[in-house]
Amino acid sequence: MEKCAFIFPGQASQYVGMGQDLCAAFPAARACFDEADEVLGYSLSELCFSGPEEELRQTVITQPAVFVHSAAAWQVLAEAGLEPVCTAGHSLGEYTALVAAGAFSFSQALELVKRRSELMQRAGEEQPGTMVAIIALEDDKVEEVCRQAADRGVVVPANFNAPGQVVLSGELAAVERAGQLAQEAGAKRVIGLAVGGAFHSPLMAPAAEKMKGLLEAAEIAPPRVPVVCNVTATATEDPEELRRRLIEQITYPVRWSESVLHMVQMGVERAIEVGPGNVLKGMVRRIARDLDVVNAGTAEEVAALEEKV
């Protein structure tokens, strides 16, 4: 097979029914969900398979759900002998990328994701904020509108997802003002996102501070393959750098466009989106049109890849 990268989605990829067919078809996937139910102390599998959707959309549930589904799909691919040349994850997905690279064990990462989701949900409740996607405006112009709107409060670029798609994050009035300025500057659309807080912004500082202590105490093994970090958009195999970047990514922007281009420079010919949905596939196609992207989230998709191996 071609040189492939495993890429892992973050929040907003969840859906009711996620992982159900995977667990029915593959014992390794079922084992991941069973272990997650035990570690978390509630039936995450039941929430993933049956909902309700409102509960699945809560940060404290969404993050473990997406992480576990992605890890379950990866486990099946790993057992089939599919090994990437590097891994990367979008925001929360960075934790699954570290599991797939061998830097974290599944249960260790799940404990950290559980705490991260709780701390980010709490930060969002204590300092309410919002996020909007700015469509069809250059990155530098988006950064400029953030500077212009800063007199209304905190507003920063949170996700450089693809050319012409940047997500802003911050306080309500400032984000609203930045959205207006973006439209005046030529943005085609400003789309409000259903999120539980101003992720990847300074408003998440209380969560980052508490995660710092947890991550400093965590054992991170040297990964088998390089991990491309959200914060730097470069690959590393240094456990101490991985630790720093995980702490920083809670308040820093996700540099996804640059991360994908970096993987292409590393010689990656195919990206496999491992986990629920196909959000990353759409982004990657806009960033690097020649890069082959396939999904591995459903039983059918995973089985098709297994056959190729």
165-170 vs 235-236, strand pairing mode: unpaired
User: Annotated catalytic sites, by residue?
Assistant: 91, 200
Q: Where in the chain is the domain with CATH 3.40.366.10?
A: 4-125+202-308
Closest CA to 63 of 237, 266, 167, 207: 207
What mean pLDDT do residues 95-109 have?
Answer: 98
Q: Where in the chain is the domain with CATH 3.30.70.250?
A: 130-192
pLDDT for the residue numbered 306: 83
- CATH superfamily for 4-125+202-308 is Malonyl-Coenzyme A Acyl Carrier Protein, domain 2 (3.40.366.10)
What mean pLDDT do residues 259-275 have?
Answer: 98
Structure tokens at 12: 């907003």
Closest CA to 193 of 239, 234, 221, 159: 159
Q: Does the pLDDT at position 149 exceed 80?
A: yes
Q: For residue 89, what is the enclosing H or E element?
A: strand 86-89
Q: Does the pLDDT at position 168 exceed 90?
A: yes
pLDDT for the residue numbered 2: 85
Q: Does the pLDDT at position 139 exceed 90?
A: yes
Instruction: Output the CATH code of domain 130-192.
Output: 3.30.70.250
pLDDT for the residue numbered 307: 82
Calculate the average pLDDT of the chain: 97
Confidence tier at 308 by pLDDT (50, 70, 90): confident
